[in-house]
Amino acid sequence: MPVSDSSHVLVTGGTGFIGSHTVLELARQGYNVVVVDNLSNSCEEPLRRIEKLTGLKDRIPLFKVDLADKDGLREVFRQYSFSSVIHFAALKAVGESVHKPLMYYRNNIAGTLNLMDAMIEFGVKNIVFSSSATVYKADPEGRPFREDSELGCTSPYGRTKLFMESIIQDVVNAEQGWNAIMLRYFNPTGAHESGTMGEDPMQIPNNLMPYMSQVAIGKLEKLHVFGTDYNTRDGTGLRDYIHIMDLAEAHVAALRRLPANQGYEVFNIGSGSGQTVLEMIDAMSAACGKKIPYSEDPRRSGDIDTILCDPTKAAEVLGFKVSRSLEQMCADLWRWQTTNPNGYEQ
């Protein structure tokens, strides 16, 4: 028998970077959350910190279940009656996906199929999906991506996100009553303002900001700037960055949108403005009070000049706009890094 009413939200991958900050925001706004995570790239500690930050009296239920485990997943659905699902659980390293494509297809796509099977079986027809700007085809003109921009992925990771979107869309089209929102976001960074929650890469970080913060604290020697001859303000690649707590709030806005019964919808989530790599180095240097060492290295294959978000639709339909500045992203990231030099391990 279910142990709760339909006010529960299931969050897959809820102990990861984006998932845990979204769970924090859900808990802060009064949602009852259940987390499913296999803990392959994360740990339980973020949930304990969420409980302290929000003053929760009860522990957030965590099921250590891999989405490949259909029976384990079905058991979670048997115990709780869910109103909706937010689906984060997936492998996410672009570079790794190039070298291990079958692992990414098997994990990301099969996991989504099993999740959708369970949702169908137990009559849960509302889902917010964690997608990515990597589903878009690179625009050589550097124009901001709109939701109707041409699709075309450059990595197996991006293709899995696009295939996962298609699976969900086909289910929505096949059966009445489904509501699904795809959130395609750009470059999340920062940390919770308390400094108690942030990104905790298990290996050497793949992304600019966590790598840079580890250089700043002395765990890595220097930052590598790949390419200084791009068609941008200073010759380095320009990207759209969004504070992790803004992104968490976007997921809650999407969750609130689901009861409007709009079927299948897609929203870009970003700031609409971008910063170059050198500008991010300057901003992070200001936040930590010291120059961050870096080397200028050749371009990487596949990198392009500019990747920007057009956030108009999210603002008009979801009522969502970013509210945190670049300076706050860097300050919060530095606070997390200095308070937790070894991540959640300590």
Rounded-to-integer distance, Cα 322 and Cα 317, Å: 14
Active-site residue (options: 31, 80, 104, 157): 157
Q: Is 104 a catalytic residue?
A: no
**23: nearest Cα among 182, 243, 201, 244:** 244
What is the per-residue DSSP string for 287-316? HHTSPPPEEEEPPPTT--SEE-B--HHIII
**How many CB atoms sit inside 10 A of residue 110's CB?**
13
Rounded-to-integer distance, Cα 327 and Cα 313, Å: 25
**How many CB atoms sit inside 10 A of residue 339's CB?**
13
What is the per-residue DSSP string for 127-182? EEEEEEGGGBPP-TT-PPBPTTSPB--SSHHHHHHHHHHHHHHHHHHHSTT-EEEE
Q: Which SS3 state, helix, strand or coil, does residue 202 take?
A: coil
Phi and psi angles of residue 124, each rounded to the nearest 5 degrees, phi first = -100, 115
* Mode of pairing for the β-strands spanning 275-276 and 238-239: antiparallel
Rounded-to-integer distance, Cα 322 and Cα 337, Å: 23
Q: Which SS3 state, helix, strand or coil, does residue 8 take?
A: strand
Catalytic residue list: 157
